[in-house]
Chain A
Amino acid sequence: MMFLLSFWTQDYLVLDKNFTLNNYIEAFTQPVYQLLFSRSLYISLTVTFFTVLLAYPMAYFISFYGGNRKALWLFLITIPFWTSYLLRMFLWKVILGYNGVLNSFLLWLEMISEPLTFILYNSNAVIIALTHGWAPFAILPIFVSLEKIDRSLLEASRDLGDGPIKQFFRVILPLSMPGVVGAALIIFIPTVGDYITPKLVGGTDGLMIANMIQVQFSKANNAPLAAALSVSSLVIVAFISIVFVLLNKKYLRKY
């Protein structure tokens, strides 16, 4: 349906059902859409990167130092999910805003003389909020892949002369790569299309492609263009995901 729609044209109230590629041409040539596409990709790739970077040490800690409290740690990680996603994103507004928690705190410490403005209503805010919101999703696959590593392999690497750092890079990281790639996919795919977070904390500089799709569908009343944008972003995400998966295969092949 969406796919078909993207080849039609909206003519005020009626749909012109003649086949046309104009929507795609517009989607790929209009600077505003190009900007939104590249910004979406930039934001979600950055989010993916930071989420995995933050999630790895947490998963590592739970897996190797969780002892018999692993379940408790995992449970604690899920606590933020008890409140709605919307609410959590909204709270970032309170934290990052002009008179928000962070600014007030820094002003009180006299580390800054006037409130910081680069932290809300732009891409940075979206990145911070998304990274926080999605971290638990990255922790779980990484945790599972770390749990699956046979502990005797770690002893073997120590026995064969590795110090703790070498051991990490020669055994733990390569063997947990499937989890890392999995986590990256889990974060990347949904964040590209996220539209609540940019809408709440992104301002105009932080808007992403999903926001435009929503506008085209509703206010602009150009469903075919919205459909074309959706299909395009689907294709782009699929392409990048396949690259991820191939990367994963490269590591998985050896098991």
Chain B
Amino acid sequence: MGKLVQVENVFKSFGDVNAVNGVSLGIEEGQFYSLLGPSGCGKTTLLRLIAGFEKPTSGQVFIDNSSMEGIEPNLRPTNMVFQNYAIFPHLNVEENVAYGLRNKRENRTKQNKLVDEALELVGLSGLNKRSANALSGGQKQRVALARALILKPKVLLLDEPLSALDKKLREQMQSELRHLQRAVGITFILVTHDQYEALTMSDRVAVMFDGKVAQEASPRDLYELPTSQKVASFIGEMTFIDGEIIGENKNLKVKSEIFGQITIDKSRVFGQSSKRIVLGIRPEKIAIVPKTSGSKNLVSGKIIDVSYFGETTNYKVSCGTIETLTISSQNSVGQLSYSVGEEIQLKADLDNIIAFSA
């Protein structure tokens, strides 16, 4: 207990589909928390269970230490920003923002002041009388935010709020949302399928697959220390190489192609221990060095594909029996570029290898 939102062993099934399959989570007050997962993983259902639009098949949700069982959405201390914004088309901006306030017993002058403040907060000052249909996607988004924040909920729920915006606007809104969350200090729970969005905005991220939480961690830990291959390949890219355990004491001694004989700290080994082991490395933790360089511990390979992304270039490299190895290289000053077919040498950052027992 003690956490603001406590989800305890919640199951939710629709017919014979288990959308949420035994989830327990604790979300602390003031956190920016993300539920991340591919579509159909149950993240939106979990959000709707917290909002009260769905009732759990079993399990409970606590907000601020009180059970939400049987409590209708209108009586919960939560407000939601909907995926399609759900702006009331028959009302103007001001009426939309004031919608929830009108259910409260404060006088109109005070309410109108709050509306102006909320519009200023989301950068829509002066658009009070604008019709809801005359708003752009970004503006609708802001109205939806203002409408929810004006009620000062304990928890603000955001259901993929940025997925309908174009890339530039989305990035702008991501940082605005982050600033807004810090400014108002309200706990945000964001549902997203975009891993970069989750990583850049959140204090904590829960990755969900098939109705279950696969890993819950800070964005850095999620990327650097994923606890399963599934999470590792969902968040960014990772190359997996089969390894063989040759010794085990405090650390794990593993032999594999490319890396050769290495020792891996136990804190970087995940899964039940078994003989078989898979080593994983992120694309940017391997560097390409020209054939001519004379450093040791190098493995030679051949470039089979190049994808140019502007600030980075991704290379696919074949190396010994490993057919493809992904390497990401920053196109910074002095960085050489390589072309398909070129023979190169690789240097892996051995400290950043993770091992998964399979």
Q: Which residues of A contact B (CB under 8 A)?
A: 150, 152-153, 155-163, 166, 170-171, 174-175, 251, 254-255
Beta-carbon contact of A159 and B79 below 8 Å: yes
The residue from B86, B100, B103 contacting A155, defined by CB atoms under 8 A apart: B86
- Taking the complex as formed, is B72 at the interface, i.e. its CB lies under 8 A from any CB of chain A? yes
A156 and B51 contact, Cβ closer than 8 Å, known pairs A163-B74, A166-B103: no
A160 and B99 contact, Cβ closer than 8 Å, known pairs A254-B89, A254-B133: yes
CA distance A162 to B132 in the complex (A): 20
Beta-carbon contact of B103 and A175 below 8 Å: no
Across-interface contacts of A166 in B (CB, < 8 A): 103
Q: Which residues of B contact A (CB under 8 A)?
A: 51, 53, 72-74, 78-80, 82-84, 86, 88-91, 99-100, 103-104, 131-133, 147-148, 151
Report, nearest first, the 10 A-B pairs whose CB atoms are least far apart: A160-B100, A156-B86, A161-B103, A152-B86, A158-B73, A161-B74, A159-B80, A174-B90, A254-B90, A161-B100
CA distance A168 to B159 in the complex (A): 24
Across-interface contacts of A150 in B (CB, < 8 A): 84, 86
CA distance A157 to B100 in the complex (A): 8
Nearest B residue to A175 by beta-carbon distance?
Answer: B90
Beta-carbon contact of B131 and A254 below 8 Å: yes
CA distance A251 to B83 in the complex (A): 26
A156 and B88 contact, Cβ closer than 8 Å, known pairs A254-B131, A254-B133: yes
Extra 6 A-B pairs, beta carbons < 8 Å, given A159-B79, A175-B90:
A152-B86, A153-B86, A155-B80, A159-B51, A160-B148, A161-B74
B187 to chain A, nearest CB (A): 16
CA distance A163 to B131 in the complex (A): 25
Q: List 8 A-B contacts (CB under 8 A).
A: A152-B84, A153-B88, A157-B88, A159-B73, A159-B80, A160-B100, A160-B151, A251-B90
B68 to chain A, nearest CB (A): 14
A125 to chain B, nearest CB (A): 39
CA distance A183 to B103 in the complex (A): 31
The residue from B51, B83, B89, B104 contacting A255, defined by CB atoms under 8 A apart: B89
A156 and B74 contact, Cβ closer than 8 Å, known pairs A162-B103, A255-B90, A255-B133: no
CA distance A162 to B100 in the complex (A): 8
A175 and B100 contact, Cβ closer than 8 Å, known pairs A155-B82, A159-B74, A254-B131: no
CA distance A144 to B79 in the complex (A): 30
Across-interface contacts of B84 in A (CB, < 8 A): 150, 152
Across-interface contacts of B90 in A (CB, < 8 A): 174-175, 251, 254-255
Across-interface contacts of B74 in A (CB, < 8 A): 158-163
Across-interface contacts of B78 in A (CB, < 8 A): 159
CA distance A162 to B89 in the complex (A): 17
Across-interface contacts of B148 in A (CB, < 8 A): 159-160
CA distance A152 to B148 in the complex (A): 14
CA distance A251 to B90 in the complex (A): 8
Across-interface contacts of B79 in A (CB, < 8 A): 159-160
A201 to chain B, nearest CB (A): 41
Across-interface contacts of A157 in B (CB, < 8 A): 88, 99
Beta-carbon contact of A158 and B86 below 8 Å: no
A160 and B133 contact, Cβ closer than 8 Å, known pairs A150-B86, A152-B86, A174-B90: no
CA distance A170 to B83 in the complex (A): 21
